[in-house]
Amino acid sequence: MTARIMIVDDEEPIRDSLQGLFEDEGYLVVSAASGEEAMARLRKQSVDCVLLDIWMPGIDGLETLSRIHQVDANLPVIMMSGHATIDTAVRATRQGAFDFVEKPLSFDRLMILCRNAVQKRRLEQENSDLKRQEKDHHSRRELIGQSAVIREVKALIKRVALSDSPVLIVGEHGTGKAVAATLLHEASKRKDGPFVEVNTASVIVNRMDSELFGHEKGAFTGALHPQRGRFESANGGTLFFDEVTELSLSAQAKILRVMQERVVQRLGNPTPMPANVRLIAASSHDLEQVLRDGQLREDFYYRLNVVSIRMPSLRERIEDMPLLVETLAAEQANELGGEPVRFSSEVLSELMAYHWPGNVRELRNYIERCHILMPGEEMTRESMLPPDQSTTQISHSTTAAKASVAMSGVEADSFHEAREAFERTYLLQSLEKHEWNISRTAADIGMERSQLHRKIKAFGLVPPEKESL
């Protein structure tokens, strides 16, 4: 993963020299001419290390260091100074600086310090990511909202959880059926047992028996090792079938038998094993129509449908939109870094007017896109990104909106490639907007002229009149 560093120094030659040095070594570089500019950039974009000059106009390096650690307490900051005393170095260290270097700078020493700082940052991030993943896992196990319909669903889940009967959860894609299944398990007497999910659409049909019931070594060609089935793994807990209508009629009959007898047999082993599981199934299809089409056994359907929970679409609880947007924006900021993207009241009204065919899942993806393209900024009517990139249902002519639409057709194998493609499109449209005037473009987008020149060269951007030569 490419590391991003920030260089903060009021002397442009030093910034340019260090930027060239680190870019030659493969780093991504963000530069700032003052402590104030550095803080503004940090609130919008996360970095892995900061090189910070001490003596600067405005807020000095020590004050900037303090403010940086208020935003990100673990961000390594290497202090630089040509007029420092031992007392200054000690103060910087006590304030949490990663290290201290004197000018004139030794590029070799600076490179080693930066590499060590980035490595330390990565190790700390890996540890915090593990903790955050656990936290995010919990955040995705709740139904966000206070509307009447979602309160009814929450209340029904609590009542149904006390039973051990099968439950059928229905609703459109992205309404939170898997979340509801998890909540049912956690509120049940089986909460200390396993929760095992089977995404039926992802299992190869001729391997379904092995996946569900397990197999012994040599039970069939390719069975090189014994394997526990999902029923066996979920014993004492809950087994959740997502998109249950994807099961074959044969698999439905076998599952029905397990539900009745509470035992399973591995392929290649006649010995029955206990399968004391609670079954929860979910579907986004019209089950009455699936029954009529003969793709769902009636006895299996009625055995599953002891209790039914219908998950409301986002359109049915649109009053939850402000809370959902705020919660999901904070979630993305935790996952991707930076401050949450904000939404004006006009934009919220636009979002509430959109039909959201993908429901909360689509909204989560939209908020993630907004955070990637406009981190820490307020989305206004003029700058908002359209929820549906494939249509012009919400049409705006701003650079950000144009760039996001342009990106919809870009294929990228990684986030790094996608970001570079967006940067290239964004810079090209900004340059065209200002008729390739470098000074006006740099001022408009908040980038230094030298950095803009470097980006133009890196992306191979050429003015129209030169392209025709």
DSSP 49: E
Alpha-carbon dihedral of residues 350, 352, 358, 360, nearest 10 degrees?
A: 120
- Average pLDDT of the chain is 84
CA distance 346 to 407: 25
Name the strands in the sheet holding 195-199, side by side, starting at the edge strand that comes first in the sequence.
Answer: 195-199, 238-242, 278-283, 167-170, 307-310
Give percent of the chain with pLDDT exceeding 70.
88
How many Å is the Cα radius of gyration of the chain?
Answer: 28
The sign of the torsion formed by the CA atoms of 254, 257, 263, 265 equals negative
pLDDT, residue 400, reads 43
Same domain flag for 114 and 28: yes
Give Cβ neighbours of residue 18 (< 8 Å, ≥ 6 apart): 7, 9, 29, 51, 105, 110
What are the two backbone dihedrals, phi and then psi, of residue 285, each rounded to the nearest 5 degrees? Answer: -95, 165
Give the helix ranges, DSSP H, for 293-358.
298-304, 321-336, 345-353
Which domain CATH number covers 54?
3.40.50.2300
Give, in order, the Cα–Cα distances in Å from 57 to each of 6, 30, 37, 129, 442.
18, 19, 12, 37, 22
State the DSSP H helix or E strand holding residue 227, giving kind and residue range, or none if neither: strand 227-228
Per-residue pLDDT of 372-392, as tens digits, reads 888 888 888 887 888 865 433
Determine the average pLDDT of the residues in 289-302: 93
Same domain flag for 155 and 302: yes
446 found inside a domain: yes
pLDDT, residue 459, reads 78
| Low-confidence winner among 88-102, 310-324, 432-446 (lowest mean pLDDT) | 432-446
Contact 233, 273 (CB under 8 A): no
Which domain CATH number covers 298?
3.40.50.300
Determine the average pLDDT of the residues in 125-136: 60
Same domain flag for 332 and 379: yes
Select from 138, 165, 189 the last residue of a domain. Answer: 138
Which domain CATH number covers 346?
1.10.8.60
Distance of alpha carbon 49 from its chain centroid, rounded? 22
Give Cβ neighbours of residue 184 (< 8 Å, ≥ 6 apart): 157, 160, 161, 167, 238, 280
Per-residue pLDDT of 23-64, as tens digits, reads 888 898 999 999 999 998 887 778 899 999 988 888 988 999
- Here the tokens at position 441 are 């473009």
364 found inside a domain: yes
Select from 95, 115, 138 the last residue of a domain. Answer: 138
CA distance 54 to 8: 9
Q: What residue numbers bound the domain in which 303 lies?
A: 149-312
- Cβ neighbours, 10 Å, residue 256: 18
Per-residue pLDDT of 347-372, as tens digits, reads 999 999 999 999 999 999 999 888 88
How does DSSP assign 66-118, residue by residue?
Answer: HHHHHH-TT--EEEEESS--HHHHHHHHHTT-SEEEESSP-HHHHHHHHHHHH
Same domain flag for 25 and 159: no
Per-residue pLDDT of 401-415, as tens digits, reads 444 444 444 555 555
Per-residue pLDDT of 420-448, as tens digits, reads 777 788 888 888 888 888 877 877 776 76
Name the domain count of the chain. Answer: 4
Band (pLDDT 50/70/90 cuts) for residue 203 is confident
pLDDT, residue 42, reads 85
Identify the bridge partners of residue 274 per DSSP, sorted by sequence position: 263
Same domain flag for 43 and 161: no
Contact 339, 333 (CB under 8 A): yes
State the DSSP H helix or E strand holding residue 240, giving kind and residue range, or none if neither: strand 238-242
- Tell me how far apart the 2 most distant CA atoms of the chain are, in Å: 84
Which domain CATH number covers 464?
1.10.10.60
pLDDT, residue 190, reads 94
CA distance 238 to 178: 12
| Position 237 pLDDT exceeds 90 | yes
The model carries a pTM of 0.59
| Position 312 pLDDT exceeds 90 | yes
Identify the bridge partners of residue 202 per DSSP, sorted by sequence position: none
Per-residue pLDDT of 321-346, as tens digits, reads 999 999 999 988 888 777 899 999 99
pLDDT, residue 422, reads 79
Amino acid at 107: F
Report the chain's terminal Cα–Cα distance, integer Å: 39
Same domain flag for 218 and 297: yes
Give Cβ neighbours of residue 114 (< 8 Å, ≥ 6 apart): 5, 22, 27, 49, 51, 78
| Low-confidence winner among 96-105, 258-267, 417-426 (lowest mean pLDDT) | 417-426
pLDDT, residue 397, reads 35
